[in-house]
């Protein structure tokens, strides 16, 4: 079965540019999560969506925004990029309705800001 699909896998941007990352969850999963993993760091929770509504917000900068669409895919929009935004961005999905919230992670999108 297909897993969580993220695109693009690699992205290079310059400071002050914008970037958009996309995430396609596993079929029938109702919740999407975004995590940021800096070099040598643990994944930090950014934001999550349940049934297309924002359900939780973590350490997401104000320059970032995200949404979940009617087909359950999600996009993370990042503006005014800074060098410190260089990181691996993971998307994960889960089916909260099962009562056991197990996240399945995508392969990640590696953003490099020059």
Partner 1 sequence: AQSVSQHNHHVILSEAASLELGCNYSYGGTVNLFWYVQYPGQHLQLLLKYFSGDPLVKGIKGFEAEFIKSKFSFNLRKPSVQWSDTAEYFCAVSGNNRLAFGKGNQVVVIP
Among the candidate windows 19-27, 40-48, 64-72, 75-83, which touches partner 1 by CB under 8 A? 40-48
What's the CA gap between 44 and 16, in Å, rounded?
A: 22
Does residue 52 bind partner 1 (CB under 8 A)? no
CB atoms closer than 10 angstroms to residue 99 = 6
Residue from the set 50, 75, 79, 86 that interacts with partner 1 by CB under 8 A: 50
3-class secondary structure, 96: helix
Rounded Cα gap, residues 71 and 66, in angstroms: 15
Output the six-digit token pair for 72.
């359950």
Candidates 31, 36, 68, 93; binder of partner 1 (CB under 8 A) is 31
> From the CB of 3, what's the least distance to partner 1, in Å?
9
By CB under 8 A, name the one of 34, 36, 43, 76 that touches partner 1.
43
In the bound state with partner 1, the residue whose beta carbon lies nearer, of 75 and 105, is 105
CA dist list (Å): 71 to 39, 62, 68, 93? 32, 25, 8, 13
Residues that bind partner 1 (CB under 8 A): 31, 33, 41-45, 48, 50, 55-56, 58, 90, 92, 96, 100-108
């Amino acid at each position: 079965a297909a897993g969580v699909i993220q695109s693009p896998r690699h992205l290079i941007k310059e400071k002050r540019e914008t970037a958009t990352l996309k995430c396609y969850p596993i079929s029938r999963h109702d919740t999407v999560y975004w995590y940021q993993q800096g070099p040598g760091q643990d994944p930090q929770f950014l934001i999550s969506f349940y049934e297309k509504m924002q359900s939780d917000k973590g350490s997401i900068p104000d320059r970032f925004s995200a949404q979940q669409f009617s087909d359950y895919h999600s996009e993370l929009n990042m503006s005014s990029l800074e060098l410190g935004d260089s990181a691996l961005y993971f998307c994960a999905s889960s089916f909260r309705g099962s009562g056991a919230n197990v996240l399945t992670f995508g392969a990640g999108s590696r953003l490099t800001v020059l």
